[in-house]
Amino acid sequence: MRLDCPPSVCESGEKYPHRIRYRRLVSNSRSYAEFFVPESESASAARARASELGCTPIGAGAGTALTFLAAAVAAKSAVEIGTGAGVSGLALLAGMTTDGILTSIDVEAENQRAAKQAFAEAGIAAGRTRLINGRALEVLPRLTDAAYDLVFVDAAKGEYGQYITEAVRLLRPGGILVIDNALWHDKVADPTQRDTDTVAIREAGRTVRDDESLVSVMIPLGDGLLAAVKKNP
C-alpha cells in the first residue's frame, strides 16, 4: 500500500477507479504549492551554479518553507549543514532577522566559493555569513550548546542520525530543526527500498518523530522537508 494517499484510494483493484484522479490531483496540487511563491533571481542564479557544480540544491518550495520557518522563530543565529551553492543559505537569510548570522558548513571549498558569490549578488553583507570548510561531524562539536534558533541539515545522508544528535544539542528551546530530502525521491515511504541512503534517512525521520523533546511535522515540498521544534524542558 502506498503512503501518499488514503487506504480507500490507494488499494489496488477496479473497485477504486477514482484512484488515478486522486493521484493526479495530488500531483497537480504539489506542483502548484512547489512554485506558489516565486523564487528570487539570485536564488535561480545560485541554482544554475549548483547544477554546474553537480550538487543538488533544495527545491523551490522547500526553500520557501525554510524562509518561512526562519521568519517564524525570528532566527538570529542558524547553522546550515551542507552549504552547496548557496540556494538554501539564501532562503534562510531571507527569513532571518536583518542582523542574523548564518554559520554554514561544507566539505567542498568550491561549493562555498559559489555560495559566497550568491550571497554577494543578493546584497548580503559579508558579516552575516560564516562559512566553515570541513567535515560537519568535526565542526559541529565545536559549536556552542543551545545557542542557535535553527539548524538545517542537507549533507551526507548516511550521517543524518549523527547530525540530528548534534542539532538537538545546538538548538535553544523553541528552536527548529529542519531536514531536507526527508522523502528521498519517494523512496522513504516505500518499505521495499533498502539502499543505504534511504534506510539512513528513514531511520533519521523515525528518530526525530519519536523524540519526546521534539514536536515534528513532515512537509511534502521539494524532496520532503522534516521540521521539528525543540520543546521547553
Q: Output the pLDDT for position 27.
A: 81
Do 100 and 203 fall within a single domain? yes
Total number of domains constituting the chain = 2
CATH code at 121? 3.40.50.150
Q: Which domain holds residue 222?
A: 41-230
Please give the backbone phi and psi of residue 79, each rounded to the nearest 5 degrees, phi first.
-120, 135
Please give the backbone phi and psi of residue 209, each rounded to the nearest 5 degrees, phi first.
-60, -40
Do 11 and 91 fall within a single domain? no
Name the β-bridge partners of 227.
Answer: 178, 217
Do 2 and 79 fall within a single domain? no
Query: Does the model's pTM come out above 0.85?
Result: yes
53 touches 81 (CB < 8 A): no
Decide if pLDDT at 123 tops 70: yes
> In the structure grid, which three cell numbers stand for residue 150, read together?
535553527
How far is residue 60's CA from residue 142's CA, in Å, rounded to a whole number? 31
| pLDDT 10s digits, 177-204 | 999 999 999 999 999 999 999 999 999 9
DSSP string, 4-17: SS-HHHHS-STT-T
C-alpha to C-alpha distances, 13 to 19, 108, 111, nearest whole angstrom: 10, 49, 48
Do 165 and 101 fall within a single domain? yes
